[in-house]
Chain A
Amino acid sequence: MGAPGLMAALLQLDGVVAGYARPVSPAASFALARGEVLGLAGPNGIGKSTLLRAVIGTARVFGGTLRRAADARVAHLPQQLPRPAEAPLSGRELLRYLRAEALPAPASLAARLEQRIDRLSGGEYQLLCLWACLAGDADLVLLDEPTNNLDQDHVRLAAEEIAAGA
Chain B
Amino acid sequence: MASLFDDLFVVPFFAGLAVALLLPLVGNLLRLRDEWLATLGLAHLAAATGLIGMAFGVPPIWGARLFPEHEVANRLPAWRWHLGFDLLSALAIAAATATVGLMGAFALIFLPSWLAFRLAPDWRRANLLAVAIGAGGYTLAFALALALDQPFAPVLAAVLIGLFALGARGGRRAAGADFPSV
User: In the complex the two chains form, what is the Cα distance from A90 to B65 in whole Å?
Assistant: 14
Flag if A56 contacts B123 (CB, 8 Å): no
Residue among A74, A88, A116, A129 making CB contact with B66, cutoff 8 Å: A129
Q: A86-B182, A94-B66 are in contact. Are A57 and B123 (CB under 8 A)?
A: no
Task: Tell which of A76, A87, A92, A119 has the most Cβ of chain B within 10 Å.
Answer: A87
**Contact status B68-A89, CB under 8 Å:** no
CB distance from B103 to the nearest CB of A (A): 25
- Within the complex, the shortest CB–CB distance from A65 to chain B, in Å, comes to 18
* Chain A: interface residue total (CB-CB under 8 A): 32
* A73 CB to nearest B CB, Å: 6
Q: Is B149 an interface residue (CB 8 A)?
A: no
User: Which one, B34, B72, B121, B182, contacts A90 given CB within 8 A?
Assistant: B121
Contact A88 B67 (CB under 8 A): no
Report the minimal beta-carbon distance from A67 to chain B, rounded to whole angstroms: 14
Q: How far is the CB of A146 from chain B (nearest CB, A)?
A: 14
| Contact B72–A58 (Cβ < 8 Å) | yes
CB distance from B15 to the nearest CB of A (A): 29
Name the A residues within 8 Å of B169 (CB-CB). Answer: none
**How long is the Cα–Cα vector from A138 to B151 in the complex, in angstroms?**
55
Number of A-B contacts (CB under 8 A): 80
Q: A85-B182, A86-B180 are in contact. Are A93 and B72 (CB under 8 A)?
A: no
**From residue A136, how far is it (CB to closest CB) to chain B in Å?**
10
Q: Are A114 and B121 in contact (CB under 8 A)?
A: yes
Let me know if B173 is at the binding interface, CB within 8 A: no
- Given A88-B122, A93-B124, A97-B58: A76 and B73 interface contact (C-beta under 8 Å): yes
Which residues of the partner chain A approach B116 to less than 8 Å between Cβ atoms?
88
- Give residues 84-135 of B contacting A (CB, 8 Å): 116-126
- Decide yes or no: A98 and B63 within 8 Å by CB, A93-B122, A93-B124 being known contacts: yes
Instruction: Determine the chain B residues whose CB is within 8 A of the CB of A82 once the complex forms.
Output: 65-66, 68
Q: Are B66 and A56 in contact (CB under 8 A)?
A: no
Beta-carbon contact of B72 and A57 below 8 Å: yes
- B59, B73, B120: the one contacting A57 at CB < 8 Å is B73
* Residues of B that sit less than 8 Å from A by CB: 32, 34, 57-60, 62-63, 65-70, 72-75, 116-126, 178, 180, 182
Task: Give residues in A with beta carbon < 8 Å to B.
Answer: 53, 56-58, 73-76, 78, 81-90, 92-94, 96-98, 114, 116-119, 129, 142
Q: A85-B180, A89-B123 are in contact. List 10 more A-B contacts (CB 8 A).
A: A57-B73, A83-B66, A87-B117, A88-B117, A88-B119, A89-B122, A93-B123, A97-B58, A97-B59, A142-B73
Q: List 20 A-B contacts (CB under 8 A).
A: A56-B73, A57-B73, A58-B72, A73-B74, A76-B67, A76-B73, A78-B69, A82-B66, A85-B182, A88-B119, A88-B121, A88-B122, A89-B62, A89-B122, A90-B121, A93-B124, A94-B66, A96-B57, A97-B58, A118-B180
